[in-house]
Amino acid sequence: MPAVLPTYARADLVFERGEGAYLFTTAGERYLDFTAGIAVNVLGHAHPKLTDALCNQAQKLWHTSNLFRVEGQERLAERLCAATFADTVFFTNSGAEALECAIKMARKFHSATGAPERHRLITFEGAFHGRTMATIAAAGQEKLLSGFGPPMPGFDQVPLGDIEAARAAITPETAGFLIEPIQGEGGIRNPGWPFLRALRKLADEHGLLLILDEVQSGVGRTGRFFAHEHAGIVPDILAAAKGLGGGFPVGACLATEHAAQGMTVGTHGSTFGGNPLAMAVGNAVLDIVLEPEFLAHVRDTGLRLRQQLAELSDAHPGMIEEVRGEGLLLGLKCSPPVGDVVAALRAQHMLAVGASENVLRLVPPLNIGEDEVREARGCLDAALTALGTDAPAAAAHHG
Ligand SMILES: *Cc1c(COP(=O)(O)O)cnc(C)c1O
């Protein structure tokens, strides 16, 4: 058995260094990276400002624990609150941990406000919230739950985008809704901004909390700081991670003062969460992402890439069924098996990642320019051409 637990079907590539939107293998081959560590490296690889922030902090202090005040945490939390709906932030090391905090907070809210029976969350089919016991139960997918014993109770699932099903699922035990504004792993599925608005209204009518999982859609990915801003609504609780540390593990649970009222001293914790290294990098990410031009650049680049994808779809009839997504959280619903498309792209030295519903995810660094968009189009064009003329061979090779 391999020394590394074989839970991943890894591509046989080893990278030695990165620069912007490019990765270089140990053999010196260059790849255009539209995976970005699964929507993580929002500023690309080895961004000098992030490298400086990390190196400077590394020379001063790495870790003290949350027994003490951490200045970087206070600063990052204040900035996140100033830029969003939130009044308060809990820092974690990953997306799943941010969700765990969100789930605990929602239960605690009702407990603290006199309705401890309200502990169940309504979640949505196709969701992905992480790999902990609570988050696999929240996602409710057999492929995540199988073999791991009884799923943690407290989640009721309804079809994505079905407001009547969401309404019908409310019981006296319901604490709130948990939803990704745009499903990432689920295949870049957007239930629509009107649906999010309807869910907000439904939550308000029933005294329920709206929890958003913006682990993938947040931190500028869709062209807004958080994707729910497109819908013109605010959540009560929000989980963020992936882009927040630009490649350094940082997660956060953001909440309003109202929703967070049960989370008093001793109710939650994390040894590593919000440590000085993570906070230094998180603050450096925000220095750039919160610049006024940055999100406009993401929206422009997203539109440009989308235009290229629409043209490619026309140029390769029968290969692309749909272009999905917002900003630089884009998906191509493919006709050929998406694994074959990923492999064909890799042969063109471009990296992209699959998602459910046979969708190819394009989640490049958010600071790419026109050159990278043009190059991506060229790689996709060549990959689709190769697949179109040689589909069975490609399938045999990589299936
Ligand atoms: C990646 C992801 C998670 C889990 O994050 P981890 O850091 O892997 O724990 C949760 N929710 C969404 C929407 C994600 O994309």
Q: If you measure from the C-alpha of residue 249 to the centroid of ligand 1, how many angstroms do you get, rounded to a whole number?
A: 12
Residues of the chain with CATH 3.40.640.10: 49-289
Tokens representing 326? 């917002």
Mutate-to-test residue for ligand 1 from 215, 226, 361, highest number of ligand atoms within 8 A of CB:
215
Task: Write the CB contacts of 317 (distance below 8 Å, at least 6 apart in sequence).
Answer: none
Q: What tens digit of pLDDT does each residue of 113-129 get?
A: 999 999 999 999 999 99
Average pLDDT over residues 273-277: 98
Give domain 49-289's CATH architecture: 3-Layer(aba) Sandwich (3.40)
Domain span(s) for CATH 3.90.1150.10 in the chain: 15-40+295-398
What's the confidence (pLDDT) of residue 286?
A: 98
Q: Which residues in 150-165 are b (16+ Cβ under 10 Å) and which e?
A: ebbebbebbebbebee
Residues assigned a catalytic role: 128, 213, 242
Closest residue by Cα to atom 5, ligand 1, is: 95
* Numbered residues of the known binding site for pyridoxal 5'-phosphate: 95-96, 128, 213-216, 271
Taking residues 228-248, report their average pLDDT: 98
Q: Give the residue from 243, 368, 254, 262 showing the smallest Cα distance to 305.
A: 368
**Rounded average pLDDT over 51-59:** 98
Instruction: Give residues (CB < 6 A) around ligand 1.
Output: 94-96, 99, 128-130, 180, 184-185, 213, 215-216, 241-242
pTM for the whole structure: 0.97
Please answer whether residues 103 and 133 qualify as being in contact, where contact means their C-beta atoms are separated by less than 8 angstroms: no
Geometric angle at alpha carbon 16, from 380 and 216, rounded to 5°: 55
* Residues flagged as binding site for N(2)-acetyl-L-ornithine: 131, 270
Report the interhelical angle of 292-315 vs 276-289 (nearest 10°). Answer: 70
The predicted-structure confidence for 147-179, as pLDDT tens digits, reads as follows: 999 999 999 999 999 999 999 999 999 999 999
pLDDT at 398: 43
233 φψ region: left (φ > 0), alpha (ψ -120 to 50), beta (else):
beta
In ligand 1, the atom with minimum distance to the C-alpha of 97 is 9
Does the pLDDT of residue 108 top 70, yes or no?
Answer: yes
Q: Do 356 and 187 form a contact (C-beta atoms < 8 A)?
A: yes
% of the chain exceeding 70 in pLDDT: 97
What is the pLDDT at residue 395? 45
Tens of pLDDT, residue by residue over 304-351, are: 999 999 999 999 999 999 999 999 999 999 999 999 999 999 999 999
Q: Decide yes or no: CATH 3.90.1150.10 for domain 15-40+295-398.
A: yes
